[in-house]
Amino acid sequence: MTEYTRGVPVAELKPRIQAFQALLHKRGVDAAIIVQKSDFFYLTGTNQQGWLYVPREGQPLLMIFKEFVRAKAESALERIVDLVSPKKIPGVLETLGYPKPKILGMELDVLPTNLFFQYRSIFDTARIVDISIDIRMLRAVKSPYEIAMIRRAAALSDKLAARVPELLEPGKTEITLAGELEAYARSLGHQGLVKMRLWGSELFYGHLLSGPSGGVPSYLASPTGGSGTSPATGQGAGHRRLGRNEPILVDYVFALDGYLSDHARIFSIGKLPDDMLKAHNAMLEVQDVAKCRGIPGIQAGELYEIMVAAAADRGYAANFMGVGDRRIRFTGHGIGLELDEFPFIAKGQTLILEPNMVIAMEPKVVLPGRGVVGIENSLVVTPSGLESLSSIQEDVVVV
């Protein structure tokens, strides 16, 4: 027999379900059907395929299409049934005595349109409303268990960064170096997949960019882009060969047992020009400002403006977080099971920081034609500010 393990401990799962039910209550939603993979894992502890029905009150019902035996072993939920099609959901709910929902929540930020219309005809007496904001808000504040999981991932981010200097060689291509680091990450348990919620977003480990590649912009909502191996990917490591005296960005996500740590350090073969070192150090100072000011109660948009002002004060108004019209308007993003969680430390965001949110903060200076410098760490919101989950040195590492 195959041995399966629990994805999320029962003591962790129960309060998540209760908190979600409280949000449904507050919103006046009778029940929710959860199908998006990260929300589903968060509330069930399994990544198998099915439908989680969460009524405002009482037991949630996990219905599994594939693979039932596995899901039953992986999930600590009590009520789990085998189900062949979403069309059967109303019948199962009735049999098990669940009242018919009048207002049904679904994740309309990601649910494909054709599926929405299918669910609307299955639940033809209900009104379907978007509960994606609610569940994203719930997921934004991490439990001690989750912080410990991210801390484990961050420790491996540090370990990965510590390996970089041994692998640097002038003339090696970005993609070859990327593969070597990725192999090491895998040997440390990296799950491979880095999940993003936003439709059309995608990332393969992160950005490993040398010299001018660090200044190549892309479609991604990120201060860096990179050439990628072709226009079909259009981001990330490409075929460029590492040179001397240029910044080499290793901005990689460590994905361990579901949880992510986002982490960037700058390396160089031979010394960097003084103005780049200066810009890098300015970004460390901007990070320090964010650490002090990122306390519970501050609005995300306010923290963003503080960081923008701190960069401008140091002379980097024109190159902070990219260059030009479509430069990104954020300095950090929540992180957990996905790379693009709440809160976004972004222009105009009114969301208020709470203790135990985890934020990947990434102040960077982009110098077109020359490269990128700066830092990224995953940090937890504490009463006294942001605490980094990483401990490896933050200066430019010269080999």
Q: Site residues for a second copy, window 71-110 (CB under 8 A)?
A: 74, 106, 108-110
- Identify which of residues 59 and 176 has a Cβ nearer to a second copy in the complex: 176
Side-chain half-sphere CA neighbours of 1 within 13 A: 6
One residue of 27, 137, 151, 234 binding a second copy per CB under 8 A: 234
CB 130 within 8 A of CB 109: yes
Give the separation between CA 284 and CA 118, rounded to whole angstroms.
50
Is residue 143 part of the contact set for a second copy (CB under 8 A)? no
Q: How far is the CB of 273 from a second copy (least distance, A)?
A: 20
DSSP string for residues in 158-183: HHHHHHHHHH--TT-BHHHHHHHHHH
Tokens of 54: 């969460």
Unique residue bearing structure tokens 């099971």: 337
Is residue 179 part of the contact set for a second copy (CB under 8 A)? yes
**Cα angle vertex 206, ends 202, 211, to 5°?**
125
Give the binding range for a second copy (CB under 8 A) out of 25-33, 136-144, 191-199, 297-305.
191-199
- State how far Cα 191 lies from the chain centre: 14
One residue of 70, 159, 241, 329 binding a second copy per CB under 8 A: 70
- Identify which of residues 155 and 381 has a Cβ nearer to a second copy in the complex: 155
Instruction: Specify whether the backbone of 151 is left (phi greater than 0), alpha (psi in -120 to 50) or beta.
Output: alpha
One residue of 92, 175, 351, 398 binding a second copy per CB under 8 A: 175
* Interacting residues with a second copy between 250 and 279 (CB under 8 A): 256-259
One residue of 60, 105, 214, 228 binding a second copy per CB under 8 A: 228
**Closest residue by Cα to residue 25 from 137, 103, 94:** 103
Is residue 127 part of the contact set for a second copy (CB under 8 A)? no
One residue of 121, 144, 232, 350 binding a second copy per CB under 8 A: 232
Is residue 5 part of the contact set for a second copy (CB under 8 A)? yes
Q: How far is the CB of 110 from a second copy (least distance, A)?
A: 5
Burial readout 184-216 (b: 16 or more C-beta within 10 A, e: otherwise): bbeebebbeebbbbeeeeebbbbbbbbbbbbbb
Is residue 184 part of the contact set for a second copy (CB under 8 A)? yes
**Cα angle vertex 299, ends 297, 301, to 5°?**
165
- Identify which of residues 143 and 281 has a Cβ nearer to a second copy in the complex: 143
- Identify which of residues 162 and 198 has a Cβ nearer to a second copy in the complex: 198
Give the binding range for a second copy (CB under 8 A) out of 168-176, 266-274, 373-381, 391-399.
168-176
- Identify which of residues 7 and 294 has a Cβ nearer to a second copy in the complex: 7
Is residue 6 part of the contact set for a second copy (CB under 8 A)? yes
